[in-house]
Structure 1
Amino acid sequence: MTISRQASDWYLSCSYKFTPTSTPKTTQVVGVDLGVKTLATLSTGVVFPGAKSYKKFESKLSKLQYLNRNKIVGSANWKKAQLKIARLHRKVASIRKDGIHKLTTYLAKNHGTIVIEDLNVSGMLANHKLAKSIADQGFYEFRRQLEYKCEWYSSKLAVVDRFFPSSKTCSNCGHVQDMPLSLRTYECSDCGISIDRDLNASINLRNAVGLTVNACGRSAADSSG
């Protein structure tokens, strides 16, 4: 048993042995492209918009912190303000985690093999222009949940090497071209196909499943090194 406190609420957590359950799979292999505009785009065409909970409450949080700036640390009013800020932080985190739980459960229950990219989250956060949006999506939490839920529902998680050019490669003909982040549509200069950038990347990830060597592990490119 673990007892913890978040803001003014207390939580009791307990661990137990969970028996994996095999669920019927509607799709054998699905590629999942994580992004900033939308949380996830699947190779099946299904799109999951991100909760973006921090962005929704950022102004309210800033206001609370601003109003608290001149209060005496340790005073009754300071403690009340700190509690309001803590509650809002908890609300933001809960909304984000709820959205990720729904996505990962859907993936693990309905797909035999889920293919994702081995994202360098810490490196992505170094981009100060996108760091706030990336952190708001919860990429690390997405992978953490997906790993154990794949075991729960007898699915496999395939992780493609982070250097695989999923966004730069045409999913129709295999042509590779530069794709700046500002371009949201992949216009292939070779075969002429026009496709959403994220959908194109997710299809490439699905097609790359042959490159992976195990479930919930490293890609072939990683293992060869």
Structure 2
Amino acid sequence: TSKNGVLQNTKIKRYTVLLEPTGKYYLSLQVEISEPEKYSLTDKQVGIDVGVADLAILSNGLKYPSFNSSYFEKKAKIWQKKYSRRRHLVKLLVLQNKNKRVLCPRSLESFANWQKAQKSKAKYQAKAANQRRDYLHKLTTHLVKQYDVIATEDLKTKNLQKNHHLAKSIANASWRMFRQMLEYKCEWYGKKLIAVDPKNTSRICSKCGYNSGAKPLEIREWTCSKCQTKHDRDINAAVNILHKGSTKLSGQGLAMVTS
């Protein structure tokens, strides 16, 4: 970008004006730009395990929390109830006018109260979505800048969301969006993203390789019965993901960088 923030060597291919449910207009641009400048290499690699309370748990012990949207969700839920109730009452009034065959029957659009509730609901939903997206952009950009090779789980989030106990938490954590951002940013900035099979990453001891079997989700720490190493469940999984990523990269004939 130039000093005044205007992109250089760009060509606008298409633009679209959008009217959001909040009543705001947005201009969406499709532009053709030159290839982005690559980030400098750091000679570091990391394995990432994704979770619900902590979105990203790194193999080096760092943890990044999931975006907390509880406030906006609570507000949106309140306005959703108001919107549903007001719209129902308005429909009844419109139906009464129709049945009474009044000369100037009112329409749904003539009642502003339910429309106000609809916009308020949409406003809080949009705030949550925008702030979550902003948080994910900052986190993924930070990770891509810090590490040359990122190993992560090849999770099928669509299948995981079939579990009704975890579906909402997984959706709020935005695992899919997190993965997509990592993918295209690694491609843009000259870094490497390795997706590995998540099977047994939480069961295997990252130190001796012993498989201690399945563990309930409430168990967050455990001790290997073979080598007696005490593990944080998520960090251990992240280390195993890094090991799998190293093996996969070696199989492709590429060397894993050292931290």
Shorter-chain TM-score: which interval? 0.7 to 0.9
**What is the aligned partner in structure 2 of residue 108 from structure 1?**
144
Match of 2:156 among 101, 117, 120: 120
Equivalent residue letter for 2:18: S
Q: Which runs of 5+ in 2 are unaligned?
A: 1-14, 92-107, 251-259
**What is the aligned partner in structure 1 of residue 62 from structure 2?**
46
Q: TM-score, normalised by structure 1?
A: 0.88
> How many residues were matched structurally?
212
Equivalent residue letter for 1:10: Y
**What is the aligned partner in structure 1 of residue 167 from structure 2?**
131
Q: 1: distance between equivalents of 2:183 and 2:195?
A: 11
**What is the aligned partner in structure 2 of residue 174 from structure 1?**
209
Instruction: Verify: 1:21 aligned to 2:40, yes or no.
Output: no
Q: Is the 8 A contact 2:44 2:149 kept in 1?
A: yes
Change (3 A) 1:18 1:86: farther
Q: Is the 8 A contact 1:64 1:81 kept in 2?
A: yes
Q: List, as ranges, runs of 4+ consecutive aligned residues in structure 1 with deviation greater than 3 Å.
A: none
Match of 1:63 among 64, 73, 78: 78
Q: CA shift at 1:27, angstroms? A: 4.8
Q: CA shift at 1:187, angstroms? A: 1.7
**What is the aligned partner in structure 2 of residue 2 from structure 1?**
16
Equivalent residue letter for 2:163: N
Q: CA shift at 1:133, angstroms? A: 0.8
Equivalent residue letter for 2:182: L
**What is the aligned partner in structure 1 of residue 47 from structure 2?**
31
Q: CA shift at 1:213, angstroms? A: 5.5
**What is the aligned partner in structure 2 of residue 217 from structure 1?**
none
Change (3 A) 1:99 1:186: farther
Q: 2: distance between equivalents of 1:66 and 1:99?
A: 28
Q: Is the 8 A contact 1:167 1:197 kept in 2?
A: yes
Q: Is the 8 A contact 1:23 1:153 kept in 2?
A: yes
Q: Secondary structure at the match of 1:69?
A: helix
Equivalent residue letter for 1:45: G
Equivalent residue letter for 1:105: T
Q: TM-score, normalised by structure 2?
A: 0.77
Q: Which runs of 5+ in 1 are unaligned?
A: 215-225
**What is the aligned partner in structure 2 of residue 204 from structure 1?**
240
Q: Secondary structure at the match of 1:166?
A: coil
CA RMSD after TM alignment: 1.7
Q: 2: distance between equivalents of 1:109 and 1:62?
A: 37
Q: 2: distance between equivalents of 1:56 and 1:170?
A: 38
**What is the aligned partner in structure 2 of residue 184 from structure 1?**
220
Aligned identity (percent) is 39
Q: Is the 8 A contact 2:73 2:125 kept in 1?
A: no
Tell me whether 138-147 or 67-76 shows the greater mean CA deviation. 67-76
Q: Deviations over 1:49-77 (max 9, x none)?
A: 11131x33332222112222321253211
Asked which structure has the greater CA Rg, the reply is: 2
